[in-house]
Amino acid sequence: MDADTRTARLLEARRLSAAKKRRDTLKVIDAIVTRGGRITFAGVAREAAVSGWFVRNQPDIRTAIECAIRDQQVAGFPDKRTLGFSTAGLRSDILLAREEIRELRRERDHLRVRLRQRLGAELDHAPRSELVERITELERRTQELAAEHTEAATLASRFEAELAAAASDLAAARAANRRLMREANAPRASG
């Protein structure tokens, strides 16, 4: 067998090996996405048992990884690197606070109706001094409920401000991450 034949066979074997690696790596990407795992270049390379250079320099694999990462970011895949809070968690807290405010308002309105009914019935039968004392107690309770309402509204406002700040921080962190990734992936100028 001459050198040209050996070289041709070696090149063909290498081409087939690279094609198999690409297929296997694309299957690994699909498997990670299917099971709900985080897609990263290093994670795909590790799981597919290929080099980091391979996953970054094969156009079809690089595109598949970048698309999967983008899809996870759009879907709001939780990022362990962010601070200890999430936008979804803050939204949930705000929704809970708003629901609590609604419940307090319903309770307040219900109590007002009951108060009117009881006061009407008691006015017919109670002495004046007892009525004044009861009215004073009811006014005190009304002030307590108003204070609770104000506190709940303040809490909701604070959660809304925290949510806006968290969203801003998250957007800034993502922008910085994209910039760092571009800088890290930029070709180095040989000196």
What's the number of domains the chain is made of? 2
Q: Which residue has the tokens 């705000």?
A: 94
Q: Is residue 18 part of a domain?
A: yes
Q: What digits encode the pLDDT tens for the residues 55-68? A: 888 889 999 999 99
Q: Does residue 191 register a pLDDT over 80?
A: no
Q: Is residue 191 part of a domain?
A: no
Domain enclosing residue 23, as ranges: 3-75
Q: Is the pTM of this model over 0.75?
A: no
d(CA 141, CA 108): 10
Residues 63 and 152 in one domain: no
Q: Is residue 28 part of a domain?
A: yes
Q: What digits encode the pLDDT tens for the residues 78-110? A: 555 544 567 777 888 888 888 889 988 999 999
* DSSP structural state of residue 79: -
Q: Which residue has the tokens 């968690």?
A: 89
Residues 50 and 104 in one domain: no
Residues 62 and 152 in one domain: no
Residue among 105, 141, 107, 137 nearest 122 (CA) = 137
